[in-house]
């Protein structure tokens, strides 16, 4: 039985666009929907990566890192939710299933297993940086298409993404307070 046969009452198919209440031209809205769906997919890939790292974090800074990663995956989930809701406002269908997210995302899924802590955080930084590059491109696209609502939404989340990336960079610094104090003595 195919998926269409399992859900015969589908009101709107995944790549189908309908009119939107904000009077954005359908062609422009469709371009933004594709960009936002790529963002949603990539954010969910990052969400799962953060969650995995939250679960397996170990070491002397376990508690701080455990809480930081929880804060990050919660924020990324909220960001993906805001982008998905904007997709609906624009007349599109948000990408929602894990398989579709892997197909639509522009970031790679981290391999299964527990990696070295520094490698996990480096992977988080890399994915964040890839998302930052795309968000900047999508801000430009939204501006060019006159979709100032999406532009504003993406800008707000861009800054939050930058701050999360900076948090991770700080966690990868080599010096600890103990090392600094022992070097001063």
CA–CA dist 47, 18 (Å, integer): 29
The length of the chain is 185
CA–CA dist 40, 166 (Å, integer): 21
Residue 168 CA from chain centroid, whole number:
15
Tens digit of each residue's pLDDT (9 = 90 or more) over 135-170: 999 999 999 999 999 999 999 999 999 999 999 999
The pLDDT of residue 61: 85
Q: pLDDT band at 185, cuts 50/70/90? A: low
Q: In 10 A of CB 12, how many CB atoms?
A: 12
Residue 40 CA from chain centroid, whole number:
6
Give the pLDDT mean for 44-57. 97
Which range in 7-16, 21-30, 160-169 is most confidently predicted, on average pLDDT?
A: 160-169
Nearest to 34 by CA among 93, 121, 96, 102: 93
The pLDDT of residue 5: 55
Tens digit of each residue's pLDDT (9 = 90 or more) over 74-98: 999 999 999 999 999 999 999 999 9
Instruction: Give, rounded to a whole angstrom, the gap between the first and last alpha carbons of the chain.
Output: 72
Nearest to 52 by CA among 127, 106, 103: 127
Residue 35 has pLDDT above 60, yes or no: yes
Residue 3 has pLDDT above 80, yes or no: no
Residue 173 CA from chain centroid, whole number:
24
CATH superfamily entry for domain 21-180: Ferritin, core subunit, four-helix bundle (1.20.1260.10)
115 in helix, strand or coil?
coil
**Average pLDDT score, the chain:** 91
The pLDDT of residue 23: 86
Give the pLDDT mean for 108-113. 94
Q: In 10 A of CB 86, how many CB atoms?
A: 22
Alpha-carbon distance values, 94 to 24, 56, 68, 100, 126 (Å): 17, 30, 28, 10, 25
Residue 27 has pLDDT above 60, yes or no: yes
Residue 65 has pLDDT above 90, yes or no: yes
The pLDDT of residue 9: 85
What pTM value is reported for the model? 0.88
């Amino acid at each position: 039985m195919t998926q269409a046969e399992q859900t015969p009452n589908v009101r709107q198919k995944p790549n189908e666009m309908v009119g939107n209440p904000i009077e954005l031209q359908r062609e422009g809205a469709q371009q933004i929907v594709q960009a936002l769906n790529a963002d949603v997919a990539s954010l969910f890939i990052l969400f799962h990566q953060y969650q995995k790292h939250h679960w397996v974090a170990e070491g002397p800074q376990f508690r701080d890192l455990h809480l930081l990663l929880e804060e990050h995956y919660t924020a990324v989930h909220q960001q993906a939710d805001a982008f998905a809701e904007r997709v609906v406002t624009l007349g599109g269908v948000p990408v929602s299933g894990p398989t579709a997210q892997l197909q639509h995302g522009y970031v790679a899924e981290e391999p299964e297993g527990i990696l070295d802590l520094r490698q996990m955080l480096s992977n988080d930084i890399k994915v964040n940086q890839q998302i930052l590059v795309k968000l900047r491109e999508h801000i430009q696209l939204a501006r060019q298409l006159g979709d100032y609502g999406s532009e504003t939404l993406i800008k707000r989340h861009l800054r939050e993404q930058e701050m999360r990336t900076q948090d991770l960079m700080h966690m990868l610094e080599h010096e600890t307070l103990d090392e600094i104090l022992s070097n001063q003595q």
